[in-house]
Amino acid sequence: MSSAFVKEGEARHLKDVAPNLGALLLFLRIENNGTVIRDEKMYFSQNLDRDVYEMSDGLIYALDDENHWYIILD
């Protein structure tokens, strides 16, 4: 059976990804059909009071206070 078919309820969400960069990169690769997503820049944002990660997919990610990944919207 192909793993390309996902049963209802088996979809992964960004908030469910382990709170480390490796897990985020793997999740993004799977979500982007195998395209490798790289971390372009990592820095501490004083406005958000946390580390943020600019990725090659053009989005910026961070961990919230509960250690869940989220996308920073401008």
Amino acid identity at 35: T
What are the sequence ranges of the domains in the chain?
Answer: 14-71
62 Cβ contact list (under 8 Å, min separation 6): 45, 48, 50, 51, 52, 53, 69, 70, 72
With b for 16 or more beta-carbon neighbours within 10 A and e for fewer, the 47-73 pattern comes to eeeeebbbbebeebbbbeeeeebeeee
| pLDDT of the residue at 9 | 53
13: which 2 tokens? 């969400």
pLDDT tens for each residue of the chain, 74 residues long: 334 444 455 568 999 999 999 999 999 999 999 999 999 999 999 999 999 999 999 999 999 999 999 999 97
| pLDDT of the residue at 70 | 97
